[in-house]
Amino acid sequence: MSRTWKLPLLGLLAAVVGLLALAACKDEKEKKTGSDGEEVVEIPLDLDEQLIKKTISRLGTGFMVWERLRNDRWEIWVKKLSGGKETRIIPAEEGRDHACPKISPDGRMLAYMSYPKGKTGYPGHARKPGTLWLMNLVSRKRRVISQEARSYAEHRAVTWLDANRLCYIDGEGYSTEYDVKTGKTKRLVKLAHETFGYLVSPDMKHATSGTPEFAIYDQQQQLVRNQQRMGGCQPYFTQDGQWGYWMGGAGGPINKMRLATREIGQVLQRDDTRLHGKRNYVYFPMVSPCQRLMAFAASPDKHDHFEADYDIYLAHVHPQQLYIIGNPVRYTKFKGVDRYPDVFRRELPLGSHYIEGKTEMKFTIPAEHASGEWQWHITGRFTATGTSVTRTFEHPGEYWVEAKQGGKKLRGYVNVREATAPQVDGVRREGKDGIIVDFDEPVLADGASVTVAGGQAVPGWQLINDGYAVSLKLPPGTPETAVFELDGFRDMAQQPNRMVKAKVNVPSVAWPASDEGMVFVWENVKGRTSLPNGMPCEVSPQGLAFWSDHGAMKLRGGWFDAPKAGELVSASCVKSNEVTVEMIITPQPAPFDKELHPILTLANSEKQRNLTIGQRGTRLYLLLRTPEQEPGAPMEETHLAGVDNNQPHHLVIAYRKDKLSVWIDGTQVWHRSRIRGDLSNWEDMKLRFGASSEGNNSWRGLIDRVVIYDRCLSDEEISQHSNSSIVAESKRNPLQEWKVVAKLIEASPVPPLQEFQPYTEALVRHLYEVQEVKEGSLLPSKQIAVSHWIWLDSQALSAQQLKVGDIVHLTLHREEEHTELKSLFIKDELIEGLGADRFHDATDWDTEIMKASSNADKIESTGR
């Protein structure tokens, strides 16, 4: 039963403060006995109540909530921004855990999940729903929003669209809107998520699951249009919808993305110098609705979300730029797990203001306090008398504004950042002749111009993305080597800063070169992935498969699935009776056998498939289903061409019922006309890369880019695509590599799967003494720290068997070159090896670790 709460706003806010104070219980303290026998109360690390009062609490009154593991159950606790006592806010439920707390934008309500004990919102409990509740923080009355609801994979269960509407995921996986006043719900998406679901941003322009993506939300079509996926977890949105932020890796950094331009930056690093050196492994970020505070948790370099000693921190952040001002402040000291915080702050009576450069500001006493004389003081020896005051701020810094009248005191805050002119942040192609120029801040275009270097004006350009970008079209006949000049753009500061004339080159031809008839495209894990009709689309690794150092599909005994693509590709090609598959493949050596190893397959089983492109030995083969084949009969293999191992090849297979042609690296290597049959008997089947539909006969190599059309590309188009600069980019220089013989002298322990959830992949870092460099230049030192793959898709890898004293053969790359590993958990408990130069063992993870005798002349394999 729904119920509407109606309380006067001032009384309601006062009641919240009173509620928190009355409900406060005795804080738990850390105690020990001193040398004189007296009890000594310790202040652990950087917990300082005076620091709390001098920093965060000066920015406004409010409170924070979080999950705490206490008495063998998960509870939701609360603490005021001014510090002091902590208390449990949600009554205990027998056999239930409480999680996913999220405060409404006005601070009146709290949404949370109640899970059966032992169940969580983590991937290990996919499709296991909890109950979604709503609490009125004034009356303490609660009601059920949904008996069955899901998180988005980890403990985020709602986004508040405004003070009276929230988005949640129902028990079937549908993103759903709930109206607090009426109790009515409506679905926001046409398609349910199979395991978890999507939460929609407050401005209803983006959506994300527990995998950081920040997809486009199409409100009219009720679709989530997938975008580039990032490594890490725990993505969320600021209340204004301008920023997405997430955990970019295990223990840090906290990343941010300006959603209008998809520009990525960092809020907080792992091992950030602004945190205490013994508690700087961060997780669970959440920005307040006012966007002035960020809450997160930090542990003493321990990952386990269920057992590590995390404590809650609050940091002051710039609401428009989302960077930290000053140092984060620790708020809890509980000897256990404090996690998934949220924070609410009320605005100061005189406001908080974030300005750039020299700015004149006027402050006025609110109407309810406007009678009588007020004494003003502003940081910097500024005093005045009256009900309003004007001051010009000229220098960067923080300024406190105070107005006093007897015992009354009103406060405001001003943050002045240094004046800087706008800068070009990036240039990108949009379609065949569109160009988008991104800026690092919103700009004004009065009197601005865009020209081709030499003087030709570019007509029809316009500002887009709330002033963060300029969109323009290439004038007819503009050469690919053209340079554009942008002049006269200025920022929105009170005293505008004009951008220095900027010159930008025309970006390379976009890939794919043609969108016409495209039904599936995958660039790389950090690039374009989409289906033209807006259906959710993802390409995800299964088994022994992961991303390469530049984001390609890397296959070593597993495969990649595109679960939403197969049905669309099959249905589209049935209608057109044509198909073109374009991809960049790098085959890698594998033992020769008689089996066909699928590179791409559109199939449901060995006997039910539409299309397979595979490799046997060094030769490519095609299996294509047409009505010419008898139902259930084996499909005929067509031998296409040979390929070279360890070399990237641009492969195009184009088919229509009177033509089949194959191109490799821009050369036509196979052609047949008068081809009989069409695609009318194709059925809806799943799309898989690197293995059969049953996961057998896995292919070994890299897949860099894939695009599928429901038409047969012309020879001219194929030639153009083959010459694309992005195709050439795939033939990039390999990473610097060393082959060494080294002795393991210090080992970090192998973590159990529980320790690094929600991830299913993990590495471990060991210390080695290099005994011989067989290939490569001189290493910087004899002792090096090396990371090894030890878990992949929850499967144990051979490196788990390494022991101190082992002498092994390693293939090394510098660890920082492997950006695909930055988001993953790495177990590192090295003591002697602390600070050693870091490398990554680039030996294939599916091969056995090669041991050597002490004189490195006898090699033996360890089993897996």
Give the contacts of 781 (CB within 8 A, at least 6 positions apart): 836, 837
Q: Kindly tell me the sign of the dihedral angle through the C-alpha atoms of 122, 128, 134, 137.
A: negative
Length of the chain: 864
Percentages helix, strand, coil for the chain, rounded to the nearest 5? 10, 45, 50
Q: Check if the beta carbon of residue 861 is closer than 8 Å to that of residue 808.
A: no
Question: In 24-65, where does DSSP find H-type helix?
Answer: 49-54
pLDDT score recorded for residue 6: 35
Q: What values do phi and psi take at 10, rounded to 5?
A: -65, -45
Residue 369 and residue 363: Cα distance in Å, rounded?
Answer: 13
Contacts of 273 (CB under 8 A, 6+ apart): none
Report which DSSP code applies to 308: S
Same CATH fold, 424-505 and 9-29+41-345? no
**What would the DSSP string read from start to end of 144-205?**
EEEEEEE-SSSS--EEEEETTEEEEEETTS-EEEEETTT--EEES-SS--SSS--EEPTTSS
Closest by CA position to 65, among listed 115, 99, 27: 99
In the prediction, which pLDDT does 3 show?
34
C-alpha to C-alpha distance for 821 and 677, rounded to whole angstroms:
47
pLDDT of residue 862: 40
CATH of domain 424-505: 2.60.40.1220
Q: Cβ distance 450 to 504 under 8 Å?
A: no
Q: What CATH superfamily classification does 352-417 receive?
A: Immunoglobulins (2.60.40.10)
CB atoms within 10 A of CB 429: 16
What tokens appear for 191 in the block?
């398609």
Question: Which residues have CB under 8 Å from 796's CB, separation 6+?
Answer: 790, 864
Residues of the chain with pLDDT under 50: 1-45, 855-864
pLDDT, residue 5, reads 37
CA dist 350 to 62, 356, 415, 641, 759, Å?
16, 19, 13, 74, 45
CATH classification (class only), 518-729 = mainly beta
Query: Which pLDDT score is estimated for 7?
Result: 33
For the chain, domain boundaries: 9-29+41-345, 352-417, 424-505, 518-729, 738-861
Instruction: Work out the burial of residue 205: count CB atoms within 10 Å of its CB; fewer than 13 is exposed, 13-18 middle, 19 or more buried.
Output: middle
> Exposed, middle or buried: residue 384 (CB in 10 Å: 0-12, 13-18, 19+)?
middle
Tell me which residue has tokens 């379609």. Answer: 431
Q: Angle 516-518-523 (CA atoms, 0-180°, nearest 5)? A: 120
- Ranges assigned E (strand) in 782-858: 783-792, 795-796, 807-814, 825-827, 837-841, 850-852
pLDDT the model gives residue 237: 98
For 558-594, the pLDDT digits (tens) are 999 998 899 999 999 999 999 999 999 999 887 677 8
User: CA nearest 247: which of 220, 263, 227, 267?
Assistant: 267
Instruction: Count H helices and E strands in the chain, helices first.
Output: 5, 66
SS3 231: coil
What's the whole-model pTM score? 0.83
Burial (CB count <10 Å: 0-12, 13-18, 19+), residue 511: buried
Q: How much is the pLDDT for 729? A: 58
558, 793 contact by CB (below 8 A): yes
Q: Please give the Cα distance from 227 to 536 (Å, whole number).
A: 9
Q: What is the DSSP letter of 591?
A: -
Q: Select from 3.10.20.600, 2.120.10.30, 1.10.443.10, 1.10.540.10 the CATH code of 9-29+41-345.
A: 2.120.10.30
Q: What is the CA radius of gyration of the chain?
A: 30
The SS3 call for residue 245 is strand
pLDDT, residue 657, reads 85
Continuous segment of H or E residues that includes residue 11: helix 9-23
